[in-house]
Amino acid sequence: MHPTERYERFLALHQGPGLLTMPNAWDGMSALLLREAGFQALGSSSIAIAFALGRPDGVHAVSREAAVANAALLSDISGLPVNGDLEDGFGPDPEDCALTVEAAIAAGLAGLGIEDTTADPTRPIHDFDLAVARVRRAAQVARGRIVLTARTDNYLKPGPYDLDDTIRRLSAFAEAGADVLFAPGLPDLDAIRAVVKAVAPRPVNVVVGPASGPVSAATLEQVGVRRLSLGGALYRQSLRALRDSAQALAQGDVATALAGAITSRELAALLPAWP
């Protein structure tokens, strides 16, 4: 699929019918397994990239080039539209965001996210005016070329939490040209419903579900959510399986450690022809 087709297809998937479930992959085989399951679009995951490298997430421990390359791998091997989790655009200035959008477009990504985070735990999110200016500059570059998701991390920073400011930011991001709006960590379905109403008709992404606990995809669709992502959840699930196997192996229980493993032949059958 040509990059322009991926962009157009990804944009159309946000218009329905139905909720777009966009799981986050982290390497070539995870992307292929998700494609095999029938998903029509994928996201990358900054936390999965960072942890796979033995680095912390959200502090610029992974470069723009590495993050874009990972998302491009997922796109190239799966042939699906991929949304790059590109954190804060890799710098505080609006021009940093513009450079990140250009890099994502050049790599053939269908979408990317820009957050209002700072990579500075002492001042976790940008002031309102700068946050909006960053999204506006990203949208100028992205328009008609790549789907731009603008995200506020109001609910991921230390409290107190402020739904009104979250809605204010997302509404301003929509006015600045963002295609999709996203606020991870919203406390409950009422908060999600309020965000959806405030930014309509722009689509809203929710990661996993409200902070009160996961709900069904059908429930999210009923309150108006257009896209469901998983962030690092599937990566963490795979690590839980590894830890369980490791603990069994450490006890000498080889059979339990390896029970249910996918065969190499099954995985190899998913790979594209080589070279």
**What confidence score (pLDDT) does residue 16 get?**
84
**What confidence score (pLDDT) does residue 17 get?**
87
Q: What is the pLDDT of residues 164-190, one digit of tens each?
A: 999 999 999 999 999 999 999 999 999
Mean pLDDT of 263-271: 97
pLDDT of residue 138 exceeding 90:
yes
> Among candidates 159, 184, 147, which has minimal Cα distance to 169?
184
Q: What is the pLDDT of residues 17-52, one digit of tens each?
A: 899 999 999 999 999 999 999 999 999 999 999 999
**What confidence score (pLDDT) does residue 1 get?**
74
**What confidence score (pLDDT) does residue 275 get?**
80
**What confidence score (pLDDT) does residue 108 get?**
98
Give residues with Cβ within 8 angstroms of 132, minimum separation 6: 169, 172, 173, 176
pLDDT of residue 258 exceeding 90:
yes
SS (H, E, C) the chain: CCHHHHHHHHHHHCCCCCCEEECECCCHHHHHHHHHCCCCCEECCHHHHHHHCCCCCCCCCCCHHHHHHHHHHHHHHHCCCEEEECCCCCCCCHHHHHHHHHHHHHCCCCEEEEECECCCCCCCECCHHHHHHHHHHHHHHHCCCCEEEEECCCCCCCCCCCHHHHHHHHHHHHHHCCCEEECCCCCCHHHHHHHHHHHCCCCEEEECCCCCCCCCHHHHHHCCCCEEECCCHHHHHHHHHHHHHHHHHHCCCHHHHHCCCCCHHHHHCCCCCCC
Pairing of strands 111-115, 204-207: unpaired
Mean pLDDT of the chain: 96
**What confidence score (pLDDT) does residue 178 get?**
98
**What confidence score (pLDDT) does residue 210 get?**
97
Mean pLDDT of 136-146: 98
Q: What is the pLDDT of residues 46-98, one digit of tens each?
A: 999 999 999 999 999 999 999 999 999 999 999 999 999 999 999 999 999 99
CATH superfamily of 3-231: Phosphoenolpyruvate-binding domains (3.20.20.60)
**What confidence score (pLDDT) does residue 159 get?**
80
Distance CA 113, CA 88 (A): 8
**How many residues in the chain?**
275
**What confidence score (pLDDT) does residue 51 get?**
98
Query: Phi and psi dihedrals of 261, rounded to 5?
Result: -65, 140
**What confidence score (pLDDT) does residue 160 get?**
84
Mean pLDDT of 102-115: 98
Domain boundaries, the chain: 3-231
104 touches 86 (CB < 8 A): yes
pLDDT of residue 139 exceeding 90:
yes
Q: What is the pLDDT of residues 189-200, one digit of tens each?
A: 999 999 999 999
Query: For 31-35, 74-78, 119-123, 148-152, which range has the lowest pLDDT when averaged over its residues?
Result: 119-123
pLDDT of residue 216 exceeding 80:
yes
90 touches 132 (CB < 8 A): no
What count of Cα atoms within 13 Å lies in the side-chain half-sphere of residue 248?
13
Distance CA 131, CA 125 (A): 8
Give residues with Cβ within 8 angstroms of 229, minimum separation 6: 22, 23, 24, 43, 83, 205, 206, 207, 208
Q: What proportion of the chain, given as a percentage, has pLDDT over 90? A: 93
pLDDT of residue 132 exceeding 90:
yes
